[in-house]
Chain A
Amino acid sequence: MDIHALQQIVHKTRDARRQQTIPKFSSEDRDQLIHKYHPDYRASAYRPIRFGPNEGDKTVVELATLLEGDSPIQNNADLTPHYTTDVLVIGGGGAGCAAALHAHAAGSKTILATKLRLGDSNSVMAQGGMQISVAPEDSPVTHFLDTLKGGHMQNDHALLKVMVEDGPAIAKWLLELGVLFDRQADGNLHVKKGGGSSKPRLLTCSDYTGLEIMRVLKDEVINQKIQLLEFAAAIELLSDDSGACSGAIFKDLDNQRHVVVAAKSVILATGGIGRLHIQGFPTSNHYGATGDGLCLSYRMGAKLAHVDTFQYHPSGAVYPEQLIGALVTEGIRSEGGQLVNAKGERFVNELDTRDVVSSSIIRECEEGRGIRTMSGRVGVWLDTPLLDAEHGPGTVEKHFPAMMLQFERFGIDISKDPVLIYPTLHYQNGGVKIDTNSETNVKNLFVAGEASGGLHGRNRLMGNSLLDLMVFGKRSGLTAASRAGSIKQGRLTLNHLQQFREDATKHGNVSGVVSPMILPAYTRKVG
């Protein structure tokens, strides 16, 4: 049928649905639902990691294969450094920029190297906002408890406490740099309520929060004249005689040459993993989200945490084909947008946590109450016109200009037509284990942002990632910088790689791939 004909059910049932309140699931029902429908519980998608610091732990096959993969670097590679620095930041997203700015401000010589251009990252796409407890009725403690509940009580308490307490000072820093957060009439920061949060706590810049923050941070990195290496993909770390991190090797993507950087400490801020298309899911992530940081740190002996859990954002676009996997911001649900199945019914409290909402959408579709497209995709409706009906005409356009534009390009006016959505692979909940200074168990190796793990437990609350980036970007940058004066540049060796290869050989070298992946192979495949 024509999409407009199928959308009628949403228009017809709108008034009746508006009266309805759907209670959140009890914790038993939540658990049951998630165990049955959440992709994290599809046992066939998982296998144990064969060797290394997380030997025996389960993760998805796609990641396990890369973690056990071989380095593109020979054991006897030439390690004469092309650059020498105090602090080497790898990754040019939010965490990387924050780390570099703080390390630089603390007086350290800093190099920021990144795979594509500065800023090309997941950070620039964040739409929904950044959680910080600024409202009078809110508090860092409440933020802590909400996050813990969202993370299934598995969050690292120390990391979480630091994040919620550092938050307000981070907001101040960003404001001083000129970030334009939305305001209330009285000049205070405007806060929205996000899924799984008990209080309104999301700071926003319309639906361009990540773009606005990144425009400013990028500009600041350039203003501060921080040395940049763009189109430089890290492909191996370097270790000194004691096993501490002492630099990294990059591949210059323009000429394929290797570039060696000697550094007193290294901050990995390489982001997430969406482009591995785990379990065949489409993704909301940027082109370079291939989990490189996990492979690099794992080879060096860094322990990973929670790498068996991923976030499938409830609302990825399913139609039109051109937008497959693209994010339909949670802000729509925060403002009252309802999820509607093929029968015109609601089936979940839209503001429940992401894992619950995603699981319930998968349930609707698996049980035959979804809407299918001819290309074989299936989804449920998100009633976007409801926002205009509820809060007055023009609401969608005013609050979600980015989304309006995205769909308008394909002839869909989301203030009049509901959109078809299905969960999309969105975020890596786990990552490299860090302490409150963002340091790993490998000395002088820091990991910040999405590549790190522990903070979010088994499910991240919306808006907590942007805060995570800024807080741990800052902490890693400051700690690395404060150390720079007192430590000597370590020797550049590949001892850890030799060790890793011995381990791999013992386990039969089964992986057969070279990692990190660097960029997904879409050429000819049309992904």
Chain B
Amino acid sequence: MAQEDTNVIDQPEVMKPRMVTIEIAGKKVEVPEGITVIKAMWYAGQEVVRGVGCLGGFCGACATYYRTKDDPKVRTCLACQTAVQDGMCFTMMPPFPARKATYDIQKLQDPKQDLFNFYPEAPLCRNCNACTEACPQQIDVREGVWKAVFGDFKSVSEMFMDCVMCGMCTPVCIADIAPNLVALYVSRAQGAHFTEKPVGLDTRIKEIQDGRFSDEWNRILKMSEKELADHCATVK
């Protein structure tokens, strides 16, 4: 049966593909309007190895600085999630040499105090908000750093659930803080030390250890293919 023509989405960009001029790390190239920054690089013939990961907006590998036509403001984006427009210029950000503290998360005695040993620069935040402006995930990074310092680990862990660890908040920090690494430590500490242990989980682990399901396993694993299929069909 033919598709009714009324059910067609007309996308102007596909009907009349328009070429736009963009600048990749200083070099001008023509690419179709609306493709993502990463696809524009491929289109321009660049092989990208560093700077491409998940292609889905989750891994933070494609951290990119860009500027749009005539606007002096340098912005940040994830190259796999951002469409190019005429006059845009961009360049990928290499991994920034931030210092990551190493710790044994389970052995921490006083995680809230330990924060100041691992990241002594954290309390020096000067409230400039540059980190928040740099974050492509729209996290209120500055607020997060403050909350971490004031020991509100729970809020920090919720706020940074969207953090893809792209690191774009780090090079802009005038106090040399790596906010994402601070938040990562805080979130892990929140999970390992300040979150209730789920009782039901321990019960289930014990049930398995005590062989509570052994009889059922024995019965099932002895079934013929047909019996097992019939049995599966009864599970609702």
Given A124-B59, A223-B103, decide whether A168 and B205 contact each other with a Cβ distance below 8 A.
yes
**Interface membership of chain A positions 348-391, coded 1 if the CB is closer than 8 angstroms to chain B and 0 otherwise:** 00000000000000000001101111110010000000000000
* A504 touches B (CB below 8 Å): no
Stretch at the interface among A144-152, A429-437, A462-470: A144-152
Residues of A within 8 A of B137 (CB): 405
| Min distance, Cβ A403 to any Cβ of chain B, angstroms | 10
Residues of B within 8 A of A420 (CB): 9
Interface size class of chain A, counting residues whose CB lies under 8 Å from the partner chain: 35 or more
**Interface membership of chain A positions 136-164, coded 1 if the CB is closer than 8 angstroms to chain B and 0 otherwise:** 10011110111011000100010001000
Given A6-B9, A168-B201, decide whether A222 and B235 contact each other with a Cβ distance below 8 A.
no
| Min distance, Cβ A235 to any Cβ of chain B, angstroms | 15
- Report which of A180, A371, A375, A525 forms a contact with B42, defined as CB distance below 8 A: A525
- Report which of A122, A153, A168, A320 forms a contact with B204, defined as CB distance below 8 A: A168
Residue of B6, B83, B161 with highest tally of chain A CB at under 10 A = B161
Bound CA span A212–B187, Å: 10
- Report which of A139, A171, A322 forms a contact with B201, defined as CB distance below 8 A: A171
Residue contact A286 to B56, C-beta cutoff 8 Å: yes
Residue contact A141 to B216, C-beta cutoff 8 Å: yes
* B45 touches A (CB below 8 Å): yes
Residues of A within 8 A of B106 (CB): 176-177
Bound CA span A141–B81, Å: 41
Residue contact A134 to B4, C-beta cutoff 8 Å: no
* A208 touches B (CB below 8 Å): yes
- Report which of A141, A169, A211 forms a contact with B217, defined as CB distance below 8 A: A141
- Report which of A220, A223, A523 forms a contact with B45, defined as CB distance below 8 A: A523
- Report which of A120, A134, A140, A519 forms a contact with B54, defined as CB distance below 8 A: A120
CB closest residue in chain A, given B196: A187
Interface size class of chain B, counting residues whose CB lies under 8 Å from the partner chain: 35 or more
Bound CA span A465–B59, Å: 19
Residue of B42, B82, B189, B233 with highest tally of chain A CB at under 10 A = B42
Given A140-B213, A321-B14, A368-B1, decide whether A178 and B190 contact each other with a Cβ distance below 8 A.
yes
Stretch at the interface among B125-133, B162-170, B171-179: B162-170
| Min distance, Cβ A249 to any Cβ of chain B, angstroms | 19
Residues of A within 8 A of B213 (CB): 139-141
User: In residues 313-364 of chain A, which contact B (Cβ within 8 Å)?
Assistant: 319-322, 326-327, 342
Residue of A2, A27, A372 with highest tally of chain B CB at under 10 A = A372
Residue contact A222 to B102, C-beta cutoff 8 Å: yes
Bound CA span A370–B4, Å: 9
Residues of B within 8 A of A122 (CB): 54
Residues of B within 8 A of A225 (CB): 102
Residue contact B205 to A367, C-beta cutoff 8 Å: no
| Min distance, Cβ A38 to any Cβ of chain B, angstroms | 20
Residue contact B200 to A136, C-beta cutoff 8 Å: yes
CB closest residue in chain B, given A287: B52
Bound CA span A188–B228, Å: 32
CB closest residue in chain A, given B95: A117
**Interface membership of chain A positions 249-262, coded 1 if the CB is closer than 8 angstroms to chain B and 0 otherwise:** 00001000000000
| Min distance, Cβ B214 to any Cβ of chain A, angstroms | 10
Residue contact A180 to B54, C-beta cutoff 8 Å: no
CB closest residue in chain A, given B53: A120
Bound CA span A134–B203, Å: 9
Bound CA span A216–B165, Å: 11
| Min distance, Cβ A409 to any Cβ of chain B, angstroms | 6
CB closest residue in chain A, given B229: A153
Given A187-B196, A342-B4, decide whether A148 and B232 contact each other with a Cβ distance below 8 A.
yes
Residue contact B9 to A373, C-beta cutoff 8 Å: yes
Residues of B within 8 A of A206 (CB): 161
| Min distance, Cβ B164 to any Cβ of chain A, angstroms | 7
* B98 touches A (CB below 8 Å): no
Residue of A2, A210, A526 with highest tally of chain B CB at under 10 A = A526
CB closest residue in chain B, given A518: B49
Residues of A within 8 A of B32 (CB): 526
Residues of A within 8 A of B82 (CB): 409
* A42 touches B (CB below 8 Å): no
Residue of B39, B46, B202 with highest tally of chain A CB at under 10 A = B39
Bound CA span A27–B232, Å: 12
| Min distance, Cβ A274 to any Cβ of chain B, angstroms | 10
- Report which of B46, B54, B102 forms a contact with A223, defined as CB distance below 8 A: B102
Given A253-B49, A286-B56, decide whether A208 and B42 contact each other with a Cβ distance below 8 A.
no
Residues of B within 8 A of A223 (CB): 102-105
Given A1-B9, A373-B9, decide whether A172 and B49 contact each other with a Cβ distance below 8 A.
no
Residues of A within 8 A of B112 (CB): none
* B36 touches A (CB below 8 Å): yes
* B109 touches A (CB below 8 Å): no
Residue contact A125 to B11, C-beta cutoff 8 Å: no
| Min distance, Cβ A524 to any Cβ of chain B, angstroms | 5
Bound CA span A319–B9, Å: 9
Given A178-B192, A322-B83, A367-B1, decide whether A374 and B11 contact each other with a Cβ distance below 8 A.
yes
* A284 touches B (CB below 8 Å): yes
Bound CA span A284–B56, Å: 8
What are the 9 A-B residue pairs with the smallest beta carbon separation, nearest first?
A178-B188, A120-B53, A178-B191, A187-B196, A368-B1, A178-B192, A374-B14, A149-B232, A375-B14
B residues with a Cβ closer than 8 A to A are 1-4, 6-11, 13-15, 32, 34-36, 39, 42-43, 45-47, 49-50, 52-59, 61, 81-83, 95, 100, 102-106, 137-138, 157, 161-165, 184, 187-192, 195-205, 208, 213, 216-217, 220-221, 225, 228-229, 231-233, 235-236
